[in-house]
Structure 1
Amino acid sequence: MSDDSGLWLLALGPAGATALYWALYRYYRNTDKSHAFERETAVEAQPVTGSDGKVDEIKGTRASRISGENGGAYRMRVQRTPTDDG
């Protein structure tokens, strides 16, 4: 037996790892099946349409308080739930 008989086993490790990596890459990336948007899709540019008409204008706050607020009445906001311990 020669000394080179075990070298193929050592070379099989990196070669197998490379083949596994390439197979997983191809499986998950699907590079041969993916849609190449930039090459396969034609987008026709059209002129911009619309208007710049003014709709509304708000200057400052119209009301300093919210109607129906209950910020100070915390007992009305928070209600206890009944418990079984009496």
Structure 2
Amino acid sequence: MSDDSGLWLLAAGPAGATALYWALYRYYRNTDKSHAFEHETTIDAKPVTGADRKVDTITGTQERRIRGDNVRAYRTRVQRDRDSPPPV
């Protein structure tokens, strides 16, 4: 009888691990509650509009950098949106 009573304990380990894995998977994935965007959403496609305008042509240049670039001036390239609140 003592051999049979310990058998359930051996089976409880893998069964418990499987149940824990499944519960965590369901909790974090929410596969039954997720929104299938591709199937449930309609998108009205509109024709592409716009125009191309040629600005300038430089041929045969030997310069390694573009005049007036702002690669190293981060603060002048990226500016905070005036409507957004300050970061916390």
Judge same fold: TM > 0.5, yes or no: yes
Q: Which residue of 1 aligns with 2:84?
A: none
- Report the Cα distance in structure 2 between the residues aligned to 1:2 and 1:20, rounded to whole angstroms: 28
| C-alpha distance in structure 2 between counterparts of 1:41 and 1:57, whole Å | 44
Q: Where do 1:19-34 residues align within 5 Å?
A: 19-34=19-34
1:46 matched to which residue of 2? Answer: 46
Measured in 2, the distance between the counterparts of 1:40 and 1:4 equals: 53
Unaligned runs of 5+ in 1: 64-86
Letter in 2 for 1:26: R
Matches within 5 A, 1:1-86: 1=1, 3-59=3-59
What 5-or-longer segments of structure 2 have no aligned partner?
Answer: 64-88
Q: What is the identity, as a one-letter code, of the residue corresponding to 2:57?
A: E
What's the TM-score once normalised by structure 1's chain length? Answer: 0.57
Aligned-pair RMSD on alpha carbons?
Answer: 2.5
Q: Partners of 1:56 and 1:42 in 2: how far apart?
A: 41
How many residues are aligned here? 64
**1:16-35 CA deviation, whole Å, 9 max, x = no partner?**
00000111111111222222
Quick check: which has more Rg, 1 or 2? 1
Aligned-residue sequence identity (percent) comes to 82
Shift of 1:59: 4.0
Per-residue deviation, residues 28-55 of structure 1 (Å, max 9, x unmatched): 1122222211111111222221122212
| One-letter amino acid of the counterpart of residue 54, structure 1 | K
One-letter amino acid matched to 1:23: A
Deviation at 1:2, TM superposition (A): 5.7
